[in-house]
Amino acid sequence: MALKVPRAGGPNLFKDGYKHLQGIEEAVLRNIQAVNELSDIVRTSFGPNGRNKMVVNHLGRIFVTSDAATIIREMDVVHPAAKLLVYASQQQEAEMGDGTNFVLILAGELLRQAEMLISLGLHPMEIVQGYELAREKALEQLEELSIATLSSPPTQESLALALRPALASKQYGHEDILAPLVAQAVSLVIPPSSETLRDFSVDNVRVVKIMGGSLSQSRVVRGMVFGREPEGSVKSATSAKVAVFSCGLDISQTETKGTVLLHNAQELKNFSRGEEVQLEKMLQEIADAGVKVVVTQSTIGELALHYLNRLGIVAMKVPSKFDLQRLCRLLGATPLARIGAPMPEEAGWIDSVSATEIGGDRVTVFRQEDGEKGGKSRPRLATIVLRGATTSMLDDVERTIDDGINAVKSLTRDPRLVPGAGATEIELARRIIEYGERTPGLNQHAIKKFGEALQVIPRTLAETSGLDATDVVSRLHAQHAMAEHVDVGVDVDQSTDGTMSTVDAQVFDVLTAKHWAIRYATSAAIDVLKVDSIIMSKQAGLKAPGHNPHWDDD
């Protein structure tokens, strides 16, 4: 019997449950609408006066922040076109550590302008071609707008100057406290010579949050700080050799269960004494090797702690494997999976270990005075001890500091700075619109719309600051038309007419971060415009039978 072959096309082309949307109305405009909704959510959080979002994730944890990277990471975006924007912003976060909101806002505005062109009759591919030409022109013109360069090797003052705008965009009003703090921490760990400047690692700066006090009481410690005190009664050591263990310091348990028959108390005493002697011998070997500090990731048994106290060894427990890895780098040590004396090349060195009290919390400080002591070269690490009233505020400041450190990482690759406060975007918009006027054909419409889309950055800065956005953008255009005023941006303090000189106010942005943000935003917008069909298969899995209030929808 011959098999029944479904007719080609129509509903029989796919299995039951498939959805197929195609055409300008169903695919392109619907995708643009979804992207605009995502862009509008994070747009009001842009800039120094950006408003916070309260996000409750699937675990019930509450985030109150204006950091776009955190907002989109905790939101479960399911629309495929909006996910393209999320991926672009995440790539910007991974590459530069900052500028995620810039990517989302610019990509959303590019698609909003594209929607207007589509309604006028332009084909999406004509818009794509114009956007690609405009992007290349924008990146070319961006290279000419550099007005400052980070000194090489960077000083603490120049680092603070470059960091202020990045920190002010998240913690406006606290940048004068945070910028010197982050600059001091970075200057402690940054390679001293310009040849090794690119080896700077953001992992060399840690943040420890301690509740209580105010932000002005935050301090920088050269070394590492742990929010717990040593396990034993010995709380401090100086110029100490350190042994690091990834296993627990306790009497070892047998792999198989066994039964021991004991006839009297003397046999019981001898049985337990044998284990004690063995453990004491191993810890004595550690002490004879000159070790004054022992760090372990696992548990420290009471008997082992007794012997360590008697031998005058500081016993520290670090449960986090990431912190243990950082501590090993600081000490120049190798974590051991066995209890015993470390070899000379496996042992680490620390200048001082001490337990102290900060704001009522007991902490342990591993302080590194000189990176070359102890006979081996070790990377320098710094810890910023943050003080604050609430956990939400401390978490937000930690994210801000992370953005600032990543800005330094970007500057080690390319030390050039461009005008901030929307001045760069206004100048690029003006030049790209002029470029569009000189371009023949239909591409000129998309090029000019690209220039208009760039104006969304100063417009958003003005709106979130309570200014008349149209009036401010008009003034910026008028001043940028004069060649000597290309550094004029939005004055979020509203001290005069809403505009200011970014050079006088010392507001700069990192050129390379701006470069990649424009590239990623345009690529995401082009990817959305190139989609002409959405084909969705039936979702796998079973649905909940009827409504059950206790059913987990996820």
For the cut 80, the answer to whether the pLDDT of residue 527 exceeds it is: yes
Contacts of 237 (CB under 8 A, 6+ apart): 292, 293, 314, 350, 352, 353
- Please give the backbone phi and psi of residue 205, each rounded to the nearest 5 degrees, phi first: -115, 115
Identify which has the larger pLDDT, 71 or 14.
Answer: 71
> Range with the lowest mean pLDDT among 7-11, 35-39, 43-47, 426-430?
7-11
pLDDT value at 501 more than 50 = yes
Nearest to 529 by CA among 35, 147, 16: 35
Beta strands 488-490 and 533-536 are unpaired
Nearby residues of 70 by Cβ (< 8 Å), 6 or more positions away: 55, 63, 399
Q: What percent of the chain has pLDDT over 70?
A: 84
Give the integer Cα–Cα distance in Å for 333 and 245.
Answer: 10
- How much is the pLDDT for 1? 45
Output the six-digit token pair for 452. 């208009």
Residue 4's pLDDT band, with cuts at 50, 70 and 90, is low
Q: What is the DSSP string of 61-90?
A: -EEEE--HHHHHHHS----HHHHHHHHHHH
Local confidence band at 413 (pLDDT 50, 70, 90 cut-offs): confident
Give the pLDDT confidence of 173-201 residue by residue, as tens digits.
Answer: 787 888 888 888 888 887 766 555 666 77
Strands, E, within 178-218: which ranges? 205-211
CB 270 within 8 Å of CB 277 = no
Cα 547 from Cα 92, distance rounded (Å): 41
Give the span between the Cα atoms of 402 and 491, in whole angstroms. Answer: 25
Average of per-residue pLDDT across 256-285: 72
For residues 143-178, one letter each, b for 16 or more C-beta atoms within 10 angstroms of the residue's C-beta and e for the rest, the string is: eebbbbebeebbeeebbbbbbbbbbbbbbbebbebb
* Sequence letter at residue 264: N
Report the SS3 class of residue 543: coil
Pairing type for strands 53-56 and 62-65 reads antiparallel
The span from the CA of 131 to the CA of 114, in Å, is: 9
CA 106/CA 457 separation, integer angstroms:
8
Rounded-to-integer distance, Cα 63 and Cα 465, Å: 23
- Identify the H or E element spanning 416: strand 416-419
Asked if the 18-148+419-537 domain carries CATH number 1.10.3720.10, the reply is no
Three-state SS for 491-506 is: CCCCCCCCEEEHHHHC
Mean pLDDT of 479-488: 74
Q: Provide the 10 A C-beta neighbour count for residue 33.
A: 15
pLDDT number for residue 258:
67
Does residue 503 surpass a pLDDT of 80?
A: no
Q: What is the pLDDT of residue 407?
A: 82
Name the pLDDT band for 165 (thresholds 50, 70, 90): confident
Maximum pairwise Cα distance, the chain: 104
- Respond yes or no on whether the N-terminal peptide bond of residue 153 is cis (omega within 30° of 0): yes
Fold of 219-255+273-413: GroEL (3.50.7)
Average pLDDT, the chain: 78
Strand partners, 365: 225, 354
Instruction: Give the separation between CA 186 and CA 201, rounded to whole angstroms.
Output: 10
Over residues 389-404, the mean pLDDT reads 83
**pLDDT above 60 (res 423):** yes
- Contact between 353 and 236 (Cβ < 8 Å): yes
Q: Answer whether residue 375 shows pLDDT above 50.
A: no
Q: Where are the domains of the chain?
A: 18-148+419-537, 219-255+273-413
- Residue 551, pLDDT above cutoff 50: no
- Of the pLDDT bands very low, low, confident and very high (cuts 50, 70, 90), residue 87 is confident
> Which of 247-256, 332-341, 455-464, 494-503 comes out lowest in average pLDDT?
247-256
pLDDT band per the 50, 70, 90 thresholds, residue 97: confident
Collect all residues with Cβ–Cβ distance below 8 Å to 390 and sequence separation of at least 6: 211
Per-residue confidence band for 350, with pLDDT thresholds at 50, 70 and 90: confident
Residue with structure tokens 């937000």? 396
| pLDDT classification of 23: cutoffs 50, 70, 90 | low
What pLDDT sits at residue 56?
Answer: 83
pLDDT over 70 at 254, yes or no = no
Query: pLDDT above 90 covers what percent of the chain?
Result: 0
**What order of strands is seen across the sheet that includes strand 314-317?**
205-211, 382-388, 219-226, 361-367, 348-358, 236-245, 291-296, 314-317
Residue 131 CB partners (closer than 8 Å, separation 6+): 110, 114, 446, 447, 450, 522, 525, 526, 529
Whole-angstrom distance, CA of residue 116 vs CA of residue 130: 14
